[in-house]
């Protein structure tokens, strides 16, 4: 018993002695000299060469914790969805340490913004673009709650969404988190910008491919001076119309003619037409079009456009001659995007277009064309459901470029429009149901500043149904299903027409730049 008491007394007096077979672990000097740098959690190549070079500059120097924290910020910017921390390990000598950058996947709920700055204190909150007094008392009280506290990302996001709801549709709001003037401090910035009442026409360069209709592409060079924009472009497209049209187009737009509610547009195009091997007296080989228009915005979401479309066609049969297709046009369009919560986003896009060829416009084609369309999209975290419908009708004699067709990269995907209605139709109806999920990381890419960026894509499934034909003849409903991946800027899809005979899938891909 005496020996047992001595053993217990020895253990109480020397609790830090290593157990048998173990070596004592010396303490890590937080001001030690950095002996080596290690990266844990991700492959080194996922981090840009520039950041890795900055890491190596720490080797041989006493640990600069602020410099290490700056590198943590750079890593988290390059790898959204990841959290970076540092860990110190003992070196080979007493005054040496190993600096380990530990990069881990964030444990935040899917679809939520990553809280990469939650370890910092909020130095201040800036409201840029409007006076803070224009915000409700509740928002201003929540803003003051952020200051002086560790960054509460959930509260900062709630303020952002409440500002969007209060200020839409006349303003847009963007939230940013920037470094403060003191170490370990950040500033939350809410940038408020006036929404564009009349946006410029979307002329983004694009290229699309349909395995049964080949490539289509267009590219425009915009020159913007204030509210004015000049555009010069070329196009070679077989996707939009029944014919492949290739040529050039020029345009001028002013989206603020004395007031932000009023805009004008002048667009001219000259195209050479190429056709599938179908013989008809309506085929033309040259088309020149001039479209002047005037747009009035009731608010940034609702716009009314009126104008004329003056087209000269060079008809091939029975003998080469010219005919005019001059039409008055009017359209009413609504587009709204809003967020009902931090994870739920809604989009509504609807419109009605009227085009009427008339004798008093010196038109050889007398017709009236109606087209209505609507789209609703609901996004919850990484899931997105889209429903769209389209219906239209034509009375009278319209040129082929005014007639309806289905079976391209956006309608009845999987079908070939020349197998459905090679000359188009004067009636059309179409609907799409699409479900998408993502974003799935499929790799990384390096930008021009040598920063690694994640390469992510979403996957989607779709079902299309529609019918097109002429008045007085039966219209046959057709269906297709398919799958694809991509984002708004690019897509790759495979469509399958649903029919009794042999099914041949259609491959489609495209990109906007």
pLDDT, tens digit (0-9, with 9 covering 90-100), for 5-18: 444 443 444 444 44
Phi then psi for residue 420, to 5 deg, are: -95, -60
Q: Are 221 and 389 in contact (CB under 8 A)?
A: no
Q: Are 511 and 207 in contact (CB under 8 A)?
A: yes
Would you tell me how many other CB atoms lie within 10 Å of the CB of residue 318? 7
Q: Which residues contact 340 (CB under 8 A, 6 or more apart)?
A: 346
Q: What pLDDT sits at residue 82? A: 75
What distance in Å separates the CA atoms of residue 325 and residue 338, rounded to the nearest whole number? 40
Sheet with 33-40: strands ordered across: 33-40, 96-105, 82-90
Q: Which residues of the chain, if any, have pLDDT below 70?
A: 1-27, 80-81, 106-119, 277-282, 439-456, 488
**CA neighbor of 234 nearest in space, from 259, 264, 207:** 207
What distance in Å separates the CA atoms of residue 284 and residue 157, rounded to the nearest whole number? 56
Q: What pLDDT sits at residue 30? A: 77
CA geometry: angle 242, 244, 245, nearest 5 deg: 115
* CB-facing half-sphere around the CA of 156: CA atoms within 13 A: 29
Q: Which residues contact 111 (CB under 8 A, 6 or more apart)?
A: 343, 380, 381, 382
Q: What pLDDT sits at residue 26? A: 61
Q: What pLDDT sits at residue 456? A: 62
Helix (H) or strand (E) holding 137: helix 137-146
For residue 365 the two structure tokens come to 């084609």
Q: Are 405 and 390 in contact (CB under 8 A)?
A: no
For residue 56 the two structure tokens come to 């190596």
The full set of domains in the chain, from first to last, is: 30-105 (3.10.20.310), 121-194 (3.10.20.310), 206-512 (2.40.160.50)
Q: What pLDDT sits at residue 442? A: 55
Q: Do the strands 185-194 and 121-128 form a parallel or antiparallel pair, or are they unpaired?
A: parallel
What distance in Å separates the CA atoms of residue 143 and residue 94, rounded to the nearest whole number? 48
Phi then psi for residue 140, to 5 deg, are: -65, -35
The answer, as to whether pTM is greater than 0.85, is no
Q: What pLDDT sits at residue 446? A: 56
Query: Would you call 266 exposed, middle or buried from its count of C-beta atoms within 10 A (0-12, 13-18, 19+)?
Result: middle
Angular region, 41: left φ>0, alpha ψ -120 to 50, beta rest: left
In 3-state terms the chain splits into helix, strand, coil percentages (rounded to 5) of 15, 50, 35
DSSP notation for 292-327: EEEEEEEETTEEEEEEEEEEEEEE-SSS-EEEEEEE
């Amino acid at each position: 018993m005496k020996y047992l008491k001595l053993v217990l007394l020895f253990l109480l007096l020397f609790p830090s002695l290593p157990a048998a077979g173990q070596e004592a672990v010396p303490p890590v000097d937080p001001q030690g000299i950095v002996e080596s740098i290690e990266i844990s959690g991700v492959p080194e190549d996922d981090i840009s060469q520039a950041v890795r070079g900055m890491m190596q500059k720490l080797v041989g120097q006493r640990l600069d914790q602020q410099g290490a924290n700056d590198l943590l910020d750079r890593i988290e910017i390059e790898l959204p969805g990841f959290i970076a921390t540092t860990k110190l390990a003992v070196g080979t000598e007493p005054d040496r340490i190993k600096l380990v950058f530990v990069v881990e996947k964030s444990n935040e709920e899917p679809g939520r913004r990553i809280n990469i700055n939650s370890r910092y204190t909020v130095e201040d909150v800036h409201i840029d673009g409007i006076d803070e007094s224009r915000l409700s008392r509740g928002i201003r009280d929540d803003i003051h709650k952020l200051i002086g506290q560790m960054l509460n990302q959930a509260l900062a996001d709630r303020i952002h969404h409440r500002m969007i709801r209060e200020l839409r549709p006349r303003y847009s709001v963007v939230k940013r988190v920037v470094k403060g003037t003191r170490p370990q401090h950040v500033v939350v910035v809410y940038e408020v910008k006036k929404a564009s009442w009349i946006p410029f026409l979307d002329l983004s360069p694009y290229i699309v491919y349909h395995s049964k209709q080949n490539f289509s592409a267009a590219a425009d060079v915009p020159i913007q001076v204030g509210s004015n924009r000049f555009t010069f472009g070329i196009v070679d497209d077989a996707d939009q119309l029944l014919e492949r049209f290739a040529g050039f187009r020029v345009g001028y737009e002013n989206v603020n003619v004395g007031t932000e509610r009023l805009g004008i547009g002048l667009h001219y195009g000259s195209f050479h037409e190429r056709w599938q091997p179908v013989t008809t007296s309506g085929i033309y080989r040259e088309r020149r079009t001039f479209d002047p228009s005037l747009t009035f915005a009731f608010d940034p979401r609702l716009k009314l456009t009126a104008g004329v479309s003056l087209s000269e066609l060079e008809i091939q049969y029975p003998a080469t001659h010219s005919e005019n297709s001059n039409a008055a046009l009017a359209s009413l369009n609504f587009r709204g995007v809003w967020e009902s919560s931090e994870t739920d986003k809604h989009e509504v896009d609807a419109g009605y277009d009227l085009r009427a060829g008339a004798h008093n416009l010196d038109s050889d084609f007398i017709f009236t064309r109606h087209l209505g369309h609507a789209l609703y999209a609901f996004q919850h975290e990484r899931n997105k459901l889209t429903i769209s419908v389209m219906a239209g009708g034509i009375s009278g004699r319209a040129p082929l470029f005014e007639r309806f067709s289905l079976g391209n990269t956006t309608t009845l995907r999987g079908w070939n429009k020349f197998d459905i209605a090679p000359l188009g139709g004067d009636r059309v109806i179409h609907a799409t149901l699409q479900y998408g999920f993502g974003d799935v990381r499929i790799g990384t890419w390096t930008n021009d500043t040598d920063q690694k960026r994640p390469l992510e894509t979403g996957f989607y499934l779709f079902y299309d149904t529609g019918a097109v034909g002429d008045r007085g003849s039966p219209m046959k409903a057709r269906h297709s299903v398919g799958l694809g991946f991509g984002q708004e800027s690019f897509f790759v899809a495979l469509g399958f027409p649903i029919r009794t005979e042999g099914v041949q899938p259609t491959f489609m891909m495209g990109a906007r730049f």
